[in-house]
Amino acid sequence: MASDLENLRTRRSAILAELAALTSTSQGGRVNQTAMGRSFDHVGYKMSLYAELKEIDAMIANADDGSGAGGSFEIETQGLI
């Protein structure tokens, strides 16, 4: 079973891969738009990925500070499907 720190690093890698894969035609790579009465917040989606990445980086840094106080973590993510 993977440790909490390994899970954080795995999620961090997934976020980085998703950010790297953004194009002008993919979700998160476009400007916000409205079509057929529905709004699509592409900018918000991309910003949520950056915010999650920042939180994960902070948790990893705290776990890697040598104090041994890494502990357990709970991560909640939100996004568009």
22 pLDDT higher than 90: no
Q: In whole angstroms, what is the distance from residue 2 CA to residue 11 CA?
A: 12
Q: What is the DSSP letter of 25?
A: T
Tokens of 73: 């973590």
DSSP state at residue 65: S
Beta strand segments in the chain, E: 33-35, 38-40
Gap between the Cα atoms of 24 and 59, Å rounded: 31
Extents of the domains making up the chain: 4-63
For 26-69, write each residue's pLDDT tens digit. Answer: 776 667 667 677 777 778 888 889 999 999 999 998 886 655 44
pLDDT in tens, 6-19: 999 999 999 999 99
Global pTM?
Answer: 0.66
